[in-house]
Each structure stands twice: as structure tokens, then as C-alpha cells.
Structure 1
């Protein structure tokens, strides 16, 4: 960039906004003219009295900014050699002096650019079996290559996780013996992404049949499609499973993209989809000295993240776990009151009656939408079914991917043994951002 031709221009400023033109702008994601809120600009200040460069933390609160804040004089545009770009310096009426690089102003000029480096929904691909198994698509990565990022194996594993919600690791050493309580391999795979989340199942957990299981996962029975720990306030983001031994008949793993199922419901029955986004489902675990309970809708959207291509809100998570579903509490009754009850509380009763009726109709829509959702996920064309062989591991997004297991025959845990653990989504997204940034993606 040359310093002799400014790429920014101040159009005007007042006590509400500062208007900026991006000169010779060829970036379609950046508007030519942007009116920036003065409060936003002042709130984003990185001046010494507003920002600690060591910790990266703000030193003031947003509400402390005067509502009638205005540049005290004409903002100055100049080329900063240390940044190698043009900047705008603003002396604010509250005595603060702030400098705003052009790259910062461009980043916050549009919704699309504001998401850059934080969210990667534009790289998410909904899949069925045919789409997932396209020719030349790589879903498995070598264990050592993953740990050392040889041939970008770790990067590509993260890309798969973000794009499809799952990825696989193979060629894991097979030297774990029956009775071992530790699994250094699944720990190394997990720690490459983030911190292991400990739950009441432990830091690591075994998935194998036991004589009197507290969870159906620890039996040889079929496990239907579900997600783990929906009864937690903050369910795990990722689940990892390492196959140590798998010499049984049956016991195959099944994975389904629940985001794809949700979009299918929206296309087939918008009212049913709306109900799935709003009717709370109760989940609980009341066993073995533990009692967990949480309510959440099946589909969660973020209305602040709109897909520019479809103009639809982004789906951020699915909550589906029939084995741990508690009785509903929404839209399930039609209460009738004695005539005398209406004498003093008529208005309240009339309101309650209308609300009950509305909830019941929404619950009917929910039931219809749920049937469409379940028909979709139980269709083999939408399922990826495989045998997780010894020396292989799967990592999948527990807030997007449903998983199941077929029934198998085993002599109480001797022939099918998986070690598992969880990672919070925050750790995963942090690693995704830093890795993408390191590879300039």
C-alpha cells in the first residue's frame, strides 16, 4: 500500500454518527459509505486509558460513554507506517483520543465481515449418506499425522468437524490391555483440540457391557439415535470415542446430521418447525444418586446470525435424546374450572384458558413436526453406519450429530470396548478460530 493516496474520507460527523467513505472500494463485502455509531467507535477504543494491551481487556464500561459524544474536531486521516495502512484519529469530546485502522473499520462495516474469524456457518454443509461419501472425500486421518499436523491432518480434521460435524482418526496403537483405566491415545487426541470436560461419568468413560448397567450404553442392547447429557445446563460440545476392541457381531455405529433433518422439517411443515423451536422438551437423569433436569427446545436458532444466501436464521444446536426424556409440561392439559371460580377471577381465567388453548395447538404442531424429524433421521439414506474398528476413533459434534448403536452379542465387555471423553464447544471453537487464523483460512 502506498502512503500518498488516502483510501478513507470523512463525509460528516455529529453527536450520533461519524460517516466514512472507503475510496476506490473493490471489496463487495464492504459498503462504499458507512455511518458508524459514535458510541460503537468510542467503545472500541484501544487508547491507553481505555484498553490494557497486556491482558487485552477494556478498562471502562459502555454505559460510561456520554450519549451526546461527538468528535471534538475534524477527525484526522494519515498513513501509519507501523501498521502499513491508513488510520483515522478521533479526539472525542470526553477527552479520549482513539485511532482506528482501516482494516478495523472494514471489518465492522457489514454483518458478513463482523462474523469473519468468529463464526464459520458459511462452511457448514448439511449431509445425507450420499453427500457425505462423495468420491475422494477424506474423513479418516492418521493418528500421528493428526497429532503433528502432517499434511495438514489436524487442520483437515477441524474442517471436517465444522463442515460435517464429525471426523475420524485411524492407526491408533493397539497396546491398551483389558483392565487399563487410562487411555493416553484418546487423551492426546482430545487435548489437541481443548480441555477434557469431566462429568459424573468421569474424565474418561468406558463404553462396554456390564452385568447391571446404570445406562443402556453399558449393555449390549440397541441404542436409538440421541445426543448425550441433554439434562445438563451445558451439554458437551464434542464427544470422542476410541475403539480399543470390537470383535462382536453387530455393535455398529450410526451417525445422522440433525441440522439437515431440522431444515427438512422447515421445508415440509413450517408450523411444525416453529413448534420444534419453541416447545420445551424436559430431559432428566434420576439414577444412582444423581438427579439432573433441564428443559430445552429440539431446535435452537440464532436470530442474530442470518444466512445471506437463504435469509434464514442459523441453526446453532439440536437437542434430542428420547432415552432421557421426562414427561412434558407444556400444552398437555385442558383445565376446567367450576362456575363459581369465575366470579372473582374471570379475567385471569379467560387469559389462562386462551393460553392453554394456544399451548395445546402448538403442542399438536410439535408432535407433527417431531414425526417428520424422526422419519427423516431414521431413513437409512440419511444415516452413516459403520463399524468402528480397533485402533480407530471418532470425534463428533454432540450439538449437531445424532449417534446410535446396533445391538450386539458380547460376554460382558470382553469383545467390544470403547473409551470416550467430552470437550466443551467453547474449547473447540477457540481451537477452530486459532487454527484457521494460523493457516490464513
Structure 2
């Protein structure tokens, strides 16, 4: 790294663990000092020269005389130097606000080539390797690429690192760390998902040409963004090949391999092991809820559509959940807490998993329908097993409460105005969010033609990885845990 040391214009101060005798102090508590500093640490706070003096209070000591060492920060003879002795917390002025960082955090976040492999981007030391007594001396330097950075020299460093090891963090990176911390703790999630009924999805749905999906990253990004917002997307002009669905899914990432295989066929056959492989009506459901990590995306490519009937229809489970919350908080809470068992029990396969109907993110806000912090919905009546908990005796009401809630929820899911119905034509492919959008199929007459869909799954990690890569590349930002994070 090329570094030019110059007279700093950025205020950076170190908070010493011990206040030197005779040094005036100004006690100031900040939000981040309570996060990063232990109760035994005595903070030294210096006021900016241009800051208006605060009135003395019983809990604050006021000293109008500036701390002597603050004058040295802007001295040309002492360019870049902040303190001559090591400390356990380092305070940095970011956007004219004093922010405090624990030296453990700064050391653990080091990205120098000795700490993070430049090629694999993997960490070369463990957080547990950092000594409890680690301390650092900080100064500001100007980097040709990063601009102003904070450089820390370590004492009691991780074993194996010599006295020449330095850690540098740009002001932009430190600002991002602070903003992410605040947003994660605040519990207000960034969420651009659109809850839809039939009219909304009919107006806003997207049809993407297969060739554009396969060749243009901008089209793929627009499609995946739409899929993340609405949970439903259609492709057209898909080649008539059993491998086309593999090509489509591979643009997102690796296919999910299940006991059905990497791909599978939805077509009528005798003695079917799955109701989907019959011509019978198949109600609204999600796939593989009996596994520990059900697939995020489901893809269905229509190879044959030559039989009467067999129309597909879809319903937004998030929209129905929001409506249920408006109608009855009691019903909503029942679906968030009551355990429902799903299973797939055959001679060669025995899958079993219990989960609530509605899963929320850890910090929900209930003020707006679109801010319910909905994470996933689990609804698959054909694959439901016997209840294993709260089935109780005469004094137990949980099962009855769940029954009432499930009945109210099903009515919302299947209301005609909430259903989007479409009969896939040959050469078309539907992609939908299997943890949000329910799918179903009307009965068809298998004696009067052939209906054949080729299916595949993609996991949530794969989908969001691809979406974030495209977000970073095309928009200079990415989203995780409900927080927008700029690329630094």
C-alpha cells in the first residue's frame, strides 16, 4: 500500500485505559462507548475547538481548558500522531461525531495480506487468537486509493505477528460499520417486497425472453430483483429440451439435488409416489417442507401442454398473512407459534420436520402491513403429518386456536381475488419463491393428451448470493439482514 503521511485534517483520539495524573478530563458518554468499552475503562473525551461549551451538570465534569495533547494532533511537527502510548479503545471523529471502537474489533477486522488471503479472501487467524490485553496506538494517514485511513500499531498482538504489523481502516469502512450496527439494532428492515393480489400481479408481472435471461446480466438482475419483490416470474421462448431448465437455473447458481434428483418430471403415471404425478386436483402448497432447508426457488418448464385442464394457479402467502394480521392478531400469533409437522414417509425415504406456519425475522415491526418482518411461510396440507405437540387434553386450547387460525388463513389464500391463474404453454417456464408463493394445479384428463413439466430447485443461499453479486456490480450496494450496505 502506498501511504503518504501528511498533516491530518481528521480528528482521531485514543481513549486511554488510565488517565495520566494532572490531565484535565471531560467525561462524555456516547452510544458506542457503551457498546465497545468495558465498565472498568475510564474514558477521556476532548471537545472540538469549535464546539459550543455544554452547561455543567451533576453527571458531567466541565473543563473549559483544552486537553493538552489535542493541540499536537494538527501540528506539522507531529503529523499523523495521536498518542504515544497504547490504549484499548480508539475514538475517531466521523462526520463531526466522536465514535469509539474497541481495539479487538479493529484488530479482528484487519484485511492486510497477512490476515486475509488476497486470493481466497479467507481469514488467516481466529478471533479467539486475539489476546485480551491487546492495545493499539493510532494515527491518521492518507492513502492514495482509500483517502484518509486510521492506522493502528499493535502491542500484545496475535501470536505470530511481529511489531511491524499494522492495521488500516478507511473512514468510509468505519462509517459503514457504524451505520450497519445502528440499523441492525434499530430493527427497522429494508424491505422492497410487494404484497400482491390477482390484480396487482397481473399488472406488474414480468415475462422474460429465454435468450435475454441467458445472455444479459442486466436482464438477469432485473428479473431476480422482480422475483425477490413479487416471488413470481415467467420465461418465454424456452428451447424444447429436457436440459433447458438446468440452463435456466444455472444462471442463478447450483441446482439443489434432492431425492427426486437434480431435475424431475411432473407427469401422470400409475401408482404415483407423489400426488403431483397424478391427474388429480392439487391444492395450494409448498414443496419439501418436510426437509430442514426447503428450496427457495422452484422452476417448472412446460414441455408438453396437450391435455384439457391442468391450469396452474398461485397465491401470495405473505399478502394473506398481512391480511390475517389486520383481521386478527390472535390468529396471526397462533400461526407464528403453533408447531405443524410435515413428513414424507415411504419405503426408501423418511423425512420429518416440524415448523410453524409463519416465520418472522428476529425483530418484527407490526406498524405497517409491508413491515411485518415476514421471513417464510410454511403451508403444505398434502404433506402434513399428525400433530406431535399441543394436541393435549380437555384443558388444552392451542389446537383449537390453531384450527380457527388455519381456517381463516386458508380462506384468504384461496379467495378468487387473491389467485393468479395461468395455463403454461409449451416453451414457457415459471419460477417462483417456494417459501412465499403457493402453487396449485387443476385436475386434467390424462387420457386426452400429455402434460409434462420439467422441474428444478435452487436454494436460498444460491439465489441471494447471485442477487448480491449483481447488486454490487450494477448498483454499488448490496442487502443482507434487512440492511442496505454500500460497496466500499
Instruction: Please give the per-residue CA displacement for 1:201-226, whole angstroms capped at 9, x wherever unaligned.
Output: 12211111112211110111111111
Match of 1:219 in 2: 278
Is residue 195 of structure 2 the alignment partner of residue 126 of structure 1?
A: yes
1:86 aligned to which of 140, 144, 148: 148
Partners of 1:311 and 1:223 lie apart in 2 by: 29
Asked if the contact 2:193/2:370 (under 8 Å) is kept, the reply is no
Unaligned stretches of 5+ in structure 1? 25-31, 177-182, 336-356
Match of 2:206 in 1: 139
1:432 aligned to which of 467, 475, 484: 467
Q: Match of 1:57, SS? A: coil
Instruction: Please give the per-residue CA displacement for 1:393-425, whole angstroms capped at 9, x wherever unaligned.
Output: 01111111111111111228x421111011111
Is residue 314 of structure 2 the alignment partner of residue 247 of structure 1?
A: no
Match of 1:162 in 2: 228
Asked if the contact 2:205/2:233 (under 8 Å) is kept, the reply is no
Is residue 430 of structure 2 the alignment partner of residue 365 of structure 1?
A: no
Partners of 1:221 and 1:99 lie apart in 2 by: 64
Match of 1:353 in 2: none
| Alpha-carbon spacing, 1:133–1:244, altered in 2? closer, same or farther (3 Å) | same
The offset of 1:139, in angstroms, is 0.9
| Alpha-carbon spacing, 1:282–1:6, altered in 2? closer, same or farther (3 Å) | farther
2:180 aligned to which of 93, 111, 133: 111
The offset of 1:326, in angstroms, is 0.5
Q: Match of 1:366, SS? A: helix
The offset of 1:54, in angstroms, is 2.1
Q: Match of 1:384, SS? A: strand
Partners of 1:380 and 1:328 lie apart in 2 by: 30
Match of 1:9 in 2: 11
Asked if the contact 2:309/2:444 (under 8 Å) is kept, the reply is yes
The offset of 1:171, in angstroms, is 1.0
Match of 2:444 in 1: 408
Is residue 95 of structure 2 the alignment partner of residue 23 of structure 1?
A: yes
The offset of 1:7, in angstroms, is 7.3
Match of 1:264 in 2: 323
Asked if the contact 1:9/1:20 (under 8 Å) is kept, the reply is yes
Partners of 2:248 and 2:432 lie apart in 1 by: 13
The offset of 1:313, in angstroms, is 5.8
Match of 1:397 in 2: 433
The offset of 1:269, in angstroms, is 2.1
The offset of 1:289, in angstroms, is 2.1
| Alpha-carbon spacing, 1:114–1:65, altered in 2? closer, same or farther (3 Å) | farther
| Alpha-carbon spacing, 1:192–1:114, altered in 2? closer, same or farther (3 Å) | farther
Partners of 1:395 and 1:113 lie apart in 2 by: 35
3-12 or 312-321, which moves further after superposition? 3-12
Q: Match of 1:88, SS? A: strand
The offset of 1:156, in angstroms, is 1.6
Larger radius of gyration: 2
Q: Match of 2:284, SS? A: strand
The offset of 1:308, in angstroms, is 10
Normalising by structure 2, we get a TM-score of 0.74
The offset of 1:33, in angstroms, is 4.3
| Alpha-carbon spacing, 1:148–1:278, altered in 2? closer, same or farther (3 Å) | same
Match of 2:424 in 1: 388
Q: Match of 1:87, SS? A: strand
Match of 1:180 in 2: none
Normalising by structure 1, we get a TM-score of 0.81
207-216 or 388-397, which moves further after superposition? 207-216
* Aligned-pair Cα RMSD in Å: 2.9
Asked if the contact 2:324/2:408 (under 8 Å) is kept, the reply is yes
Asked if the contact 1:6/1:78 (under 8 Å) is kept, the reply is yes
| Alpha-carbon spacing, 1:54–1:418, altered in 2? closer, same or farther (3 Å) | same
Asked if the contact 1:7/1:22 (under 8 Å) is kept, the reply is no
Q: Match of 2:244, SS? A: helix
1:261-340 to structure 2, matched below 5 A, reads: 261-303=320-362, 314-334=373-393
Is residue 125 of structure 2 the alignment partner of residue 60 of structure 1?
A: yes
The offset of 1:123, in angstroms, is 2.2
